[in-house]
């Protein structure tokens, strides 16, 4: 477990971060660290997330601690986080949504297609902000998930943080491809600061991604483009199974509230057997839930396309 004091190990245990007999802990400090340091003690942190991850060994529940700072980690290449049971914990405020200062940001100079890819299984990611400021005229986003049974809590997925990729239909904030049984809690997907000038989506789910749960998450966008959606599900032959959204808010900002988008969900592909489960969800800046509502289920009242759409109260 390296040279960290007993208290940090106890803190991780209280936070539900597992450890085994061979587990190691590494610290990233983007202002005071150095990648020539061992990273296994407070007084000798690493500078970059990439260097810390390189030290981790799959399947032994190693943990990377990322210290909140004014300076973000700016990777030169996409980070592939694909070692099973390897955890990433931001040491900052446990803020849901967009407040995290533990930041991994792809810069305009790097022009990354994806900032981080999470593969493998069983990893825990908490209190992080992952954003992409790429300005190249190519489809791009913040995070791609291909792994299974991953936990994301208090994570901000900020894709399209520049007008150029935000004007492309293939850009995104978060994409799940063949990803199963993942859990998202108190996360924010998308931003309401950069105008989306194309019919893209903040969350894209493809290749039978199923049994994923989004709890108390916010899906944000800023758009007046016809065909812009919050979630795009591309359902192949055989369907995508069950995916659930619980107590989630789908929110689109438009100029002076002048133009609401048509639907939250866009369903494309073969549209086989799949289920969209909505529990206590709300939508602001939309007029309906889906361009295909046959497989959308909710226990809320008024089981029509407009249920749960938030309106101004009458005066």
Residue 143: CB atoms within 10 A of its CB come to 29
Domain with CATH 2.160.20 in the chain: 68-75+91-298
Place of tokens 């902000």: 129
pLDDT of residue 1: 47
pLDDT of residue 39: 96
Task: Give the pLDDT confidence of 190-239 residue by residue, as tens digits.
Answer: 999 999 999 999 999 988 899 999 999 999 999 999 899 999 988 776 66
Residue 63: CB atoms within 10 A of its CB come to 27
Q: CATH: 3.40.50, 1.20.950, 2.60.40, 2.160.20. Which one for 68-75+91-298?
A: 2.160.20
Name beta bridge partners: 229. Answer: 201
C-alpha dihedral over 11, 15, 20, 25, to 10 degrees?
-60
Task: Give the pLDDT confidence of 27-70 residue by residue, as tens digits.
Answer: 999 999 999 999 999 999 999 999 999 999 999 999 999 999 99
DSSP label of 256: G
Task: Give the pLDDT confidence of 239-293 residue by residue, as tens digits.
Answer: 678 999 999 999 999 877 778 899 999 988 776 678 899 999 999 999 889 888 8
Q: Which residues contact 304 (CB under 8 A, 6 or more apart)?
A: none
Is this prediction's pTM over 0.85?
A: yes
**Cβ–Cβ under 8 Å, residues 220 and 196:** no
CA 3 to chain centre: 32
């Amino acid at each position: 477990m390296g040279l960290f004091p007993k208290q940090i190990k106890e803190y991780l245990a209280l936070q539900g971060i597992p450890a085994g007999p061979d587990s190691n802990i590494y610290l990233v400090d983007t202002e005071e660290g150095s990648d020539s340091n061992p990273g296994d003690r407070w007084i000798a942190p690493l500078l970059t997330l990439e260097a810390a991850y390189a030290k981790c060994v799959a399947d032994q529940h190693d943990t990377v601690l990322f210290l909140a700072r004014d300076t973000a980690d700016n990777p030169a290449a996409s980070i592939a986080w694909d070692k099973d049971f390897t955890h990433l914990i931001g040491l900052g405020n446990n803020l849901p949504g967009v407040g995290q200062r533990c930041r991994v940001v792809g810069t305009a100079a790097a022009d990354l297609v994806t900032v981080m890819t999470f593969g493998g299984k069983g990893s825990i990611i908490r209190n992080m902000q992952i954003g992409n400021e790429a300005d190249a005229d190519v489809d791009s986003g913040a995070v791609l998930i291909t792994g299974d049974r991953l936990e994301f809590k208090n994570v901000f997925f900020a894709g399209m943080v520049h007008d150029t990729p935000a004007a492309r239909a293939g850009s995104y904030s978060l994409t799940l491809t063949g990803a199963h049984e993942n859990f998202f809690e108190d996360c924010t997907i998308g931003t309401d600061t950069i105008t989306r000038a194309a019919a893209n989506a903040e969350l894209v789910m493809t290749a039978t991604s199923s049994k994923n749960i989004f709890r108390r998450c916010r899906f944000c966008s800023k758009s007046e483009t016809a065909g812009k959606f919050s979630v795009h599900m591309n359902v192949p032959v055989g369907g995508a199974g069950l995916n659930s959204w619980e107590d989630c808010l789908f929110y689109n900002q438009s100029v002076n509230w002048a133009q609401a988008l048509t639907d939250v969900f866009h369903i494309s592909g073969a549209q086989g057997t799949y289920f969209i489960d909505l529990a206590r969800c709300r939508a602001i800046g939309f007029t309906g839930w889906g361009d295909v509502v046959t497989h959308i289920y909710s226990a809320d009242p008024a089981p029509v396309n407009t249920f749960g759409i938030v309106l101004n109260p009458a005066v």
